[in-house]
Amino acid sequence: MKTINKVTNVKELRDEILSKHSPNQKEIVVAGGTCGFVSGAEDVIDALNSELKSRGLDKEIKVKVTGCHGFCAIEPVIIINPENILYKEVSEKDIPEIISETILNGKIIDRLLYIDESTGEKILHEEDIPFYKRQTHQLLEYNAKIDPLNIEDYIAVGGYTALEKALQMGSDNIIAEIKASGLRGRGGAGFSTGAKWEMAKKAPSKEKFVVCNADEGNPGAFMDRNILEANPHSVIEGMIIGGFTIGANIGYIYVRKEYPLAIEHIKIALEQAYQYGFLGEDILGTGFSFDIEIVRGAGAFICGEETSLIKSIEGAIVEAQTKPPFPTLKGLWESSTVLNNVKTLASIPIIINKGSAWYSGFGTDASKGTMVFSIVGKIKNTGLIEVPMGTTLREIVYDIGGGVANGKKFKAVQIGGPSGGCFPESLLDINVDYESMAKAGIAMGSSGMIVLDEDICMVELARYFMAFNQNESCGKCTPCREGIKHLLDILTRITEGKGQEDDIEILEKMGNLIIDLSLCGLGKSAPNPVLSTIKYFRDEYEEHIKNKRCPANVCKNLV
């Protein structure tokens, strides 16, 4: 890759970029993530460019396409700067009026404003909308401000200054800072990131690797996809810092092939990082070299498990491997390998720039920082949110999510996908952090949330997730391969009205055996949806089995 603008001083480059921009620049920002494009953002972008050109305003007014802003339920979204006016559910038919009335005459179009349901207030600015007002953005802070395809936008908000600082700090100080921050892996396990990097640094391996796990396979989860689409350079910068810290010179971004927009944005971001000298040889004149490659996953859920992901990169049969040894000692091609989730890596530049004391000021004593969640299902405000660790489920569902849609009653929140579990209404005041959720018997997983209403059958839900887990099991170990099938068979029988008196006890016993005896994280977490629904919704199982009745009227053989 040819370097066209070799950077040796990031601060000087940032100052140069900022000097070219006026705070009064007229621009129209369009939220352009996958959700936005599906809702019609591409037509809005085309209409804006066409209308501005036809009026001779295309040189004066800029159209900026960013990633998703998080509030997927109101897409397509545009923000008019510098006034910071937000219009929701915009269509291409609205564009001539927006240009004529708002851009040229400063008039607000009321029908395009967000209306607070509880007060009836028309809200002009994004930060005043309740959905955003109750969040704390760190990883998502710049989603509405930068063009993910323009590296200079990222540098303008402080991008790559953390890399410059880290290269001066040295690896030991970086590890100390990450450990002091309390950052834990955001992929589900919650292991100390600083401790993982320290183990890899001390490993005697001649060659070392950094791998970004972007294989996001949970139904209803799109946190990693959003970050890669909206701010890919934050992940790249975190990987480079990780490589420098552990002594690696090669990194891999393992991303699902089903994420075409994320892959496109990563590819362009990597090209730009090479062109500016943030990747390649002699980064920032320090002598450190680092390269990153993209590996496209074929969509197997098991590849979210680290040892299976490693086998996939190697081109081997994708099966979970026995641990120990852990990848930090013996991973990719038998060499020391650090695998981190997208959210974990994107947190690194924030910690380096703002310090461990600042970062650890958010969250709880044992779960520091913020967490990004997707909230979908039977909820009014679907989208992506970021809140401090320790925020309650009630705050997320009602204060941010707006409550259950269509006037239905709340029933549960399913967290963590097929490896997670269900929280009933009685646990809505639980703090969302690693310790509180583990105490309740439910793993946080990858942090996808699905809100369920009264029309959902919890037995059928458990059956659905067991069918998913059976299809996605690599089949290597007997407890997972045979055990999940056995759970699925029993659940299917119950939903068909053929349940037996001892089925609940068998499900519990079999589920705990699978957790205890399975080889990898898929098997060890697969029974969680069954065990949590039995724990909190046992009466529904008993209704299905004893009275041959589905309270939610979902299981058609029992209706």
Sequence spans of domains, the chain? 25-130, 151-359, 370-453, 458-558
Grade residue 1 by pLDDT with cuts at 50, 70 and 90.
very low
Length of the chain: 559
pLDDT at 431 > cutoff 50: yes
Domains 25-130 and 151-359 alike in fold: no
Q: Across-strand partners of 171?
A: none
CATH topology of domain 370-453: Ubiquitin-like (UB roll) (3.10.20)
Residues 531/421, Cβ–Cβ less than 8 Å: yes
Region 382-408 average pLDDT? 95
Burial per residue of 162-188, b for 16 or more beta-carbon CB atoms within 10 angstroms, e otherwise: bbbbbbebebeebbebbbbbbbbbbbb
Beta-carbon neighbour count of residue 319 at 10 Å? 17
- Give just the sign of the alpha carbon dihedral 506, 512, 514, 517: negative
CATH class of 25-130: alpha beta
Read off the amino acid at residue 550. Answer: C
Q: 3-class SS at 76? A: coil
Tell me the backbone φ, ψ of residue 189, rounded to 5 degrees. Answer: -75, -30
Per-residue pLDDT tens digits for 500-547 = 999 999 999 999 999 999 888 788 888 999 999 999 999 999 999 999
Lowest mean pLDDT among 95-104, 117-126, 300-309, 327-336: 300-309
Region 128-141 average pLDDT? 95
Q: At what angle do helices 232-246 and 161-169 cross, to 10 degrees?
A: 10
Read off the amino acid at residue 198. Answer: E
Region 335-343 average pLDDT? 96
Q: What is the pLDDT of residue 474?
A: 84
Alpha carbon 447 to chain centroid distance?
8
Q: What value does the CA radius of gyration of the chain take, rounded to a whole number of Å?
A: 24
- Which helix (H) or strand (E) segment is 65 a member of? strand 62-66
Grade residue 319 by pLDDT with cuts at 50, 70 and 90.
confident
Options 1.10.1740.10, 3.20.20.60, 3.30.70.270, 1.20.1440.230; CATH of 458-558? 1.20.1440.230
Lowest mean pLDDT among 259-268, 413-422, 495-504: 413-422
Q: At what angle do helices 528-546 and 458-472 cross, to 10 degrees?
A: 130
Per-residue pLDDT tens digits for 229-271 = 999 999 999 999 999 999 999 999 999 888 999 999 999 999 9
| CA distances for 548 relative to 545, 551, 553, angstroms | 5, 10, 11
Q: Across-strand partners of 28?
A: 63, 80
Q: Please, which residues have CB within 8 angstroms of residue 404's CB and are 6 or more apart in sequence?
A: 378, 379, 380, 397, 410, 451, 453
Per-residue pLDDT tens digits for 147-201 = 999 999 999 999 999 999 999 999 999 999 999 999 998 877 789 999 999 999 9
pLDDT at 4 > cutoff 70: no
Q: What is the pLDDT of residue 187?
A: 77
Q: What is the pLDDT of residue 437?
A: 86
Q: What is the pLDDT of residue 316?
A: 87
Separation of first and last alpha carbons in the chain: 63
pTM confidence score: 0.95
Residues 148/265, Cβ–Cβ less than 8 Å: yes
CATH code of domain 151-359? 3.40.50.11540
Q: What is the pLDDT of residue 3?
A: 53
Region 304-317 average pLDDT? 88
